[in-house]
Amino acid sequence: MNQDDSGHTPTSAGPAIILVEPQLGENIGMVARAMANFGLSNLRLVSPRDGWPNEKAIATASRADHVIRATQVFDKLEHAIGDLSFLYATTARPRDGFKPVHGPVEAGRELRGRERIGQRTGILFGREKFGLSNEEVALADVIVTFPVDPGFSSLNIAQAVLLMSYEWMKAGLDRETDTNFRGPEMEPASKEHLNSFMGHLERALDDRGYFRPPEKKPRMLDGLRSVFTRPAFAEAEIKVLRGVLSSLDYFSPKEPRGAGYPDRKAEADRAARSEDADE
């Protein structure tokens, strides 16, 4: 495979994306970008209003150069789909006829399955203003429609291509919940580490007068254990928390932090007043 100017190596072409009489070069460029995001590169235009190539399309493609350079232009829709053996037509409104209607998830899986057996497939998208005509939809094998709000069902053409491109990519993953990268794999902390941390935490809180009144300490400790055991902390996270406690231990004040609590301060003030009165 050839690389584009950015050093990107295009993935397999996948289904052809066919735009019927697109009007704005900017929309064509955004379509190319959406395709490139999800591994598609076969873009076909049927009678683009402003001709081709189009500088505005190139500018908005955001370096999807391999898609732009390979774009094919046709005078008639029949010519654009002539080499395909299976075709979806996107539409947001009900159509007369007997064609099956699929959602985007089902369509993505269908397209992947047909690619595996060597079939050439395509997805047909209509004009920005009014989509596809009934005659154009009739050339497709199946209709695909999106689960949008019926009261506002019109999608920008690039948005529609993005949704279908996403479903195409997702259907090719080993698991549809996969992503290109994950967070670090972290082993859950052992009970030994957790218990050691809880002992450290208890000592630090004791030094600062946290457990008040003293008879509630067991219940308060139970609450803390619930907080720190429910999320299944990883060992690395426990080490971070231990570092926090160690810092508190190192800079611990001479007197328990609890000595400054309002009720203790009130007791100290009363004692001071009593001594003044005795004098």
Residue 265 has which token pair?
């301060």
Does residue 11 register a pLDDT over 50?
no
Closest CA to 15 of 133, 101, 142: 142
Residue 14 has which token pair?
């996948």
Q: 178: number of CA atoms within 13 Å, CB side?
A: 10
Does residue 29 register a pLDDT over 90?
yes
Q: Which of 77-81, 222-226, 239-243, 268-272 has the highest mean pLDDT?
A: 77-81
Q: How far apart are CA 242 and CA 59, in angstroms?
A: 53
Top-tier CATH class for 16-171: alpha beta
Taken in order 54, 23, 151, 99, the sign of the CA dihedral is negative
Closest CA to 126 of 155, 152, 164: 155
Return the pLDDT at 42.
Answer: 97
137-174 pLDDT, tens digit each: 999 999 999 988 888 878 899 999 999 999 999 999 88
Which helix (H) or strand (E) covers residue 278, if one does? helix 262-278
- Say how many Å lie between the first and final Cα of the chain, rounded: 98
3-state secondary structure of 30: helix
**Residue ranges of the chain assigned to CATH 3.40.1280.10:** 16-171
pTM assigned to the model: 0.67
